[in-house]
């Protein structure tokens, strides 16, 4: 599926520790920052998640909500959230369903071995479920500020 700005964001159903079923429609009335990251408790993913945590009050003031997604288990997410006091949900996408829907699975290489992994990506979805902004192949430094500026522009 080709994602297009100013079109309906792909609808999804997923699970988090606090909600056995969470959908895109669960966020209706809120601007959703949907971010995909490779792995819990790794340096870049921790920096990114803590950045959203540190900006969470500002995000809430803009009628925003945050949902992080990786292929880690609910148990791993629970430990990660607790360790870093993350105030938002993390979705366990172990089958890669959401990752495929948002086209974030990419070929990567580590130590000469190729594998399919999550390309760090963020999507900003407005209160009506419309995809307003996409960031692909995210570099963490400065990213949270970019997302905040785009979020503020929606209000």
Q: How far apart are CA 28 and CA 13, in angstroms?
A: 14
Pairing of strands 22-23, 13-14: antiparallel
Residue 62 a catalytic site member: no
Helix extents (H) in 23-142:
43-54, 56-61, 74-84, 97-101
Q: From the candidates 45, 50, 62, 99, give the one annotated as an active-site residue.
A: 45
**Do 92 and 74 touch, CB atoms closer than 8 A?**
yes
Q: What is the chain's Cα-based Rg?
A: 14
Q: Which residues have C-beta within 8 Å of that of residue 10, sequence separation ≥ 6?
A: 1, 3, 24, 101, 102
Question: Hey, which residues are catalytic here?
Answer: 45
């Amino acid at each position: 599926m080709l994602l297009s700005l100013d079109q309906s964001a792909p609808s999804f159903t997923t699970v988090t520790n606090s909600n056995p079923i969470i959908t895109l429609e669960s966020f209706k009335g809120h601007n959703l920052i949907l971010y995909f990251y490779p792995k819990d408790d790794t340096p870049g993913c921790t920096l990114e998640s803590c950045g959203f945590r540190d900006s969470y009050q500002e995000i809430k003031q803009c009628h925003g909500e945050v949902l992080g997604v990786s292929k880690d288990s609910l148990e791993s997410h629970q430990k990660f959230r607790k360790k870093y006091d993350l105030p938002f949900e993390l979705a366990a996408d172990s089958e890669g369903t959401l990752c495929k829907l948002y086209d974030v699975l990419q070929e990567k290489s580590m130590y000469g071995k190729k594998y399919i992994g999550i390309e760090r990506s963020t999507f900003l979805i407005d209160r009506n479920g419309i995809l307003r902004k996409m960031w692909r192949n995210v570099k963490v430094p400065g990213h949270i500020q970019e997302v905040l500026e785009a979020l503020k522009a929606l209000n």
